[in-house]
């Protein structure tokens, strides 16, 4: 890890209140404010999620087919425009 020298002006350390400058010490108050703002955003997230992309209600995933124990070892692949479970018995002489 490379070390950087702090920029000192007179007997004070020059700090960056914007938290965007490299090689300048971050202002503690600005760091605290940024962390508090992130914590407030995280706290505002509702769980469980009640909407996805503006859609509410029951959400069903239809693109991925359901699977059972019989599908162990299979791969998902596209066949005729649909995603299906498939086996690959041999690929370049390597069995799966």
Span 36-76, pLDDT tens digits: 999 888 888 776 667 777 777 666 666 777 888 888 888 88
Structure tokens at 53: 């992309």
Q: What is the pLDDT of residue 16?
A: 87
Give, as one character, the DSSP assignment of residue 13: E
67 and 48 within one domain: no
Is 96 a residue whose pLDDT tops 60? no
49 and 35 within one domain: yes
The structure's pTM equals 0.38
Structure tokens at 63: 């693109």
Q: Which residues contact 50 (CB under 8 A, 6 or more apart)?
A: 56
Distance separating alpha carbons of residues 43 and 34, to the nearest angstrom: 14
Domain count of the fold of the chain: 2
Q: What is the pLDDT of residue 79?
A: 83
Structure tokens at 28: 């503690």
- Residue span of the structural domain in which 14 resides: 1-59
């Amino acid at each position: 890890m490379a070390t950087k020298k702090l920029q000192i002006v007179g007997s004070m350390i020059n700090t960056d209140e914007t938290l965007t400058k490299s090689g300048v010490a971050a202002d503690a108050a600005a760091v605290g404010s940024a962390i508090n703002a992130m914590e407030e955003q995280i706290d505002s997230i509702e769980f469980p999620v009640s909407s996805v992309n503006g859609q509410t209600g029951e959400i069903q995933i239809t693109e991925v087919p359901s699977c059972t124990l019989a599908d162990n070892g299979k791969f998902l692949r596209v066949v005729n425009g649909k995603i299906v479970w498939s086996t690959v018995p041999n690929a370049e002489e390597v069995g799966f």
